[in-house]
């Protein structure tokens, strides 16, 4: 049987999702989804001048998806959108104290979880893995950009 990058990545994603759910429901399962937690982490790491378009770009998601995600986080009291003086259309995204505490707990959990995932994987193997992932992501971006250019024509 031949290996398929697509199928192996999908399988790995499914396993990661299931393992995350099995390990962390008490931590945040009733508050936010895994995707929402990732967005909160990104907001935490990029505090300051952060806007919806930054989230769209970082996660490679459409505007509508980002809007729904952010609205849900706002309804749960985890983010605040503040108007920007220079452009009333822009809304700066900030975390609430509840989100900061949730992020602190999740960061601790994630560090422990990542150690379990990487058990037996040598540092050189990790470096090669991330290098390969980055190259594949660049190739996928090229493909996606070509498709977007075709659709514009």
CB 36 within 8 A of CB 55: no
pTM of the model: 0.63
* 153 CB neighbour count, 10 Å cutoff: 4
What is the residue-averaged pLDDT of the chain?
87
According to the model, what pLDDT value does residue 65 have?
94
Angle ∠(40,73,82) on CA atoms, nearest 5: 90
Supply the pLDDT for residue 146: 81
**pLDDT digits 0-9 by tens, 46-58:** 988 899 999 999 9
pLDDT at 84 > cutoff 90: no
Report pLDDT for 30.
Answer: 66
For residue 38, report the phi and psi dihedrals to the nearest 5 degrees.
-65, -40
pLDDT tens digit sequence for 12-49: 989 987 887 777 655 555 678 878 888 999 999 998 88
Residue 44 has what pLDDT?
Answer: 93
pLDDT at 34: 76
Yes or no: say if 59 and 42 are a contact pair by the CB < 8 Å rule: yes
Q: Is the pLDDT of residue 109 over 90?
A: no
pLDDT tens digits, one per residue of 125-144? 999 999 999 999 999 999 98
Q: What is the pLDDT of residue 28?
A: 55
């Amino acid at each position: 049987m031949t290996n398929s990058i697509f199928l192996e990545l999908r399988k790995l994603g499914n396993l990661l999702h299931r393992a995350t759910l099995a390990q962390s429901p008490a931590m945040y399962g009733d508050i936010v989804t895994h995707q929402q937690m990732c967005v909160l982490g990104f907001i935490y790491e990029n505090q300051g001048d952060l806007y919806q378009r930054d989230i769209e770009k970082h996660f490679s998601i459409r505007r509508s998806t980002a809007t729904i995600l952010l609205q849900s986080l706002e309804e749960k009291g985890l983010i605040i959108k503040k108007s920007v003086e220079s452009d009333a259309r822009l809304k700066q995204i900030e975390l609430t104290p509840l989100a900061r505490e949730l992020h602190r707990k999740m960061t601790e959990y994630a560090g422990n979880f990542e150690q379990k995932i990487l058990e037996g994987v040598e540092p050189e193997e990790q470096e090669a893995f991330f290098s390969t992932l980055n190259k594949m992501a660049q190739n996928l971006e090229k493909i996606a950009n070509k498709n977007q250019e075709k659709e514009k024509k």
